[in-house]
Structure 1
């Protein structure tokens, strides 16, 4: 059975972020973020931002879990700074 189009799109954006991480290419991260922004503007859910955004607090790469850092609270296992636009 085929995946819904929206889920395929989310997976494709995640794959671009994984490639950006692997190649240490910030341009690829920015391109994937722009795709996600456009999807949101068109009324689609691009998925949780912590899935594709590196954490500015602990340095967790896109797709990786946040790591506890002294002096920084986490909400649902994620640093709030990671989810801010």
Structure 2
């Protein structure tokens, strides 16, 4: 039995983000984020996208983990500012 379409779409978006990270291509990240936003507007769950954004607090690149910065809390291993649109 094959995966549901929504799961396959999430996997495909993660693959694009991984490729963008591997090639350090911000354009691919932006494209995948735009697809995620469109999916959300259509009522679909694109999955978590915060890991694929640069962090405005610690400067972590898309796909990299946040690092602790004095005076900034982390939630679930990431700065909350990274998850805000």
What is the TM-score of this pair, normalised by structure 1? 0.85
Structure 1 residue aligned with 2:69: 69
Q: Which moved more, 1:68-77 or 1:11-20?
A: 68-77
SS of the residue corresponding to residue 77 of structure 1 reads coil
Match of 1:31 in 2: 31
Q: May I ask how many residue pairs the two structures share in their alignment? A: 85
Question: How far 1:49 moved relative to its partner?
Answer: 2.2
Q: CA deviation at 1:56?
A: 2.4
Does the CA-based 8 Å contact 2:60-2:67 persist in structure 1?
Answer: yes
| Moved beyond 4 Å, runs of 4+ | none
Q: In the alignment, is residue 15 of structure 1 matched against residue 15 of structure 2?
A: yes
Q: Give 5+ residue unaligned stretches, structure 1.
A: none
Does 2:41 correspond to 1:41?
A: yes
CA deviations 1:48-77 (Å, max 9, x no partner) are 222322322223343443222222111222
Q: Partner of 1:58 in structure 2? A: 58
TM-score (norm 2): 0.85
Question: Over aligned residues, Cα RMSD in angstroms?
Answer: 1.6
Unaligned runs of 5+ in 2: none
